[in-house]
A and B are shown apart, each in its own frame.
Chain A
Amino acid sequence: MTEISGFLKYEFDWSIPFREPYLQMMITGVKITLLLFVVTSITSLILGTIIAIMRISRIKILRILGTLYVEIFRNIPGLFWLLFFYFVFPSLLPFGLGERLNAYIYYPVVAGIIGLTVDNASYVSDILRSGRLTIPHGQREAAISTGLNRVQQYLYVLLPQMYRATLPPLGTRMVHNFKNTSLCMAITAPELTWATQQIESLTFRGVEATAIATVFYVVLSLLMFATVIMLEKKLKIDITSITRSRA
């Protein structure tokens, strides 16, 4: 094992990831990965929508704040934000809240959720904003003329169209977000990648676990890509008819 020489000197032992306690690590890893993905997808969609609305609002200060948010979070890697929320953020909190957070056993997962959310939300808001620009003015005018107030305009007219028009890039973004959950291993959140590395460092035989994890990521990502394509066909807005009527 220690001496590496010759071509492919590795004997696979596929029983390792299926042996206790490693099996338990892998199962927990899958659970935490899915938890991180689902929670951050929802929270980043909400936060991203808020930022997008801020950036297209008429109030200047909101626009500036929104742009500032996007520039800061898009130009600094997600890994930095994960490390920041894990190591630095608790010490910024007053009233001993930080110590309590550090003592909390699942704080790595919480920090991962916060870090992934703020990172992903900046991309989501950018995508949604570009989606807003493709909606013809008439839509909003129609919404105003039916007596909807500003909130209702967004809720019932603009936002549904924004999501539909930007479905493909949003879907790609969510797949990115799913892959980014693997970065949480850097802050010791016990997700799948962390589990494979734990097995590697405990047994020096992490290749099998890594292979299983890779297959897991690839299959789920491809499924998501396929879902997006299917959804898109179903929900497609006929852009050509809109542009034609505008021309």
Chain B
Amino acid sequence: MKGLLSQFENWDFYLYGSFTGGEPGGLLLNIILAVLSLSMSFIFGVLLGYSRLSSRRYVRYPCIAYIEFVRSTPLIMIIFWSYFFLPYLIGKDIPIFWSAVISLCIYAAAYQAEIVRAGILAVPGGQLEAALSTGMSRYQGLRYVVLPQAFRMMLPSFVSFFVSLFKDTSTTYIIGLIELTQTGVIISQREPDKMYAAYLSMAIGYFVVCFSLSRLARRLEKRIGVFDLESYRPEATRDEFMLLPKRKKGGEVNLATE
């Protein structure tokens, strides 16, 4: 029993790194990376997602180009660009941590934009029309009528996106950030007899966070309803989306497929 426990004696290293360099690591670093990049890119995601629906071509097309470009590039490539090329571009070295955050932000903004766009499209068009007919400006109608409803519907998607972003933070292992995967690999290479324990700890660390959050997402979906984010098409019109979720009196969303 004692031998088994000693296999996991590095639990603090997996959980929050060594702190010797003054920097947190391990699972804590994954959480910090995910939270920081999600919140930093949130505003860009909202702006991009809304601008993509703009009727002006010179606003819409650059946003489409950005979103589609990022969505079709592997995250590793974005990380390499910010890790190898950004220092040349701005003329000074960037700490690995920040180049990881920047690349995750670039990545997350595009995906959040898609969530925001789907959320705005899921609000029935009549809502904006009603807002406009009461004399609100387009901005006011958006700000006070459409977006609050859209955000409510986006919430489950945001939580599931956070789970996927959290898993994607493991990719920063490749540029040498001491996050959970890196701690596990370090231990398993330094002490080969602890290999199984190290991989098990990694798996448990990721599983606990992702499982509980995806459960939360599922509960939110049940309460708020969900729109099918992956299956909508770029060329789909607003009218098609108006058909999808229908609001009941109790505020629940009823899917047409139900």
User: What residues of chain A have their CB less than 8 Å away from a CB belonging to chain B?
Assistant: 4-10, 71-72, 74-80, 83-84, 87-88, 91, 127, 134, 166, 168-169, 172-173, 175, 179-180, 182-183, 185-186, 193, 196-197, 200, 206-207, 210, 213-214, 217-218, 221-222, 225, 229, 232, 239-240, 243
Contacts and interface: CB of A to CB of B under 8 A. Distances in A.
B256 interface: yes
Interface of B: 68-69, 71-77, 80-81, 84-85, 87-93, 163, 167-168, 170-171, 173-174, 181, 185, 188, 195-196, 199, 202-203, 206-207, 210-211, 214, 228, 230-235, 243, 256-257
Contact of A75 (B76, B88, B207): B207
Nearest to B196: A88
Contacts of A83: 181, 185, 199
Most buried by B among A79, A182, A193, A213: A79
B211 A4 contact: no
Contacts of B87: 4
Contact of A168 (B188, B196, B203, B230): B230
Nearest to B72: A221
24 contacts: A4-B91, A4-B92, A4-B93, A6-B91, A9-B88, A10-B88, A74-B210, A76-B207, A77-B206, A78-B167, A79-B171, A80-B199, A83-B185, A91-B195, A168-B231, A179-B75, A182-B74, A185-B76, A193-B76, A200-B84, A206-B84, A213-B77, A218-B69, A222-B72
A193 B74 contact: yes
A196 B80 CA distance: 10
Given A10-B88, A206-B84, A186 B174 contact: yes
Main secondary structure of the interface of A (DSSP, over half): helix
A69 to B, nearest CB: 13
A6 to B, nearest CB: 5
Contacts of B75: 179
B68 A76 contact: no
Given A83-B181, A218-B72, A76 B77 contact: no
Going nearest first, the 7 A-B pairs with the smallest beta carbon separation are A221-B72, A75-B210, A169-B230, A182-B74, A77-B167, A179-B74, A10-B88
B89 to A, nearest CB: 6
A117 B173 CA distance: 21
Given A72-B207, A79-B173, A217-B72, A168 B233 contact: yes
A80 B80 contact: no
Contact of B181 (A6, A72, A80, A239): A80
A229 B173 contact: no
A21 to B, nearest CB: 21
A218 B171 CA distance: 19
A4 B86 CA distance: 11
A207 B185 CA distance: 28
A240 B74 CA distance: 36
Given A8-B89, A75-B214, A239 B80 contact: no
Contacts of B243: 240
Given A91-B195, A206-B84, A229-B234, A79 B181 contact: yes
Contact of B170 (A8, A80, A193, A207): A80
Contact of B77 (A72, A80, A214): A214
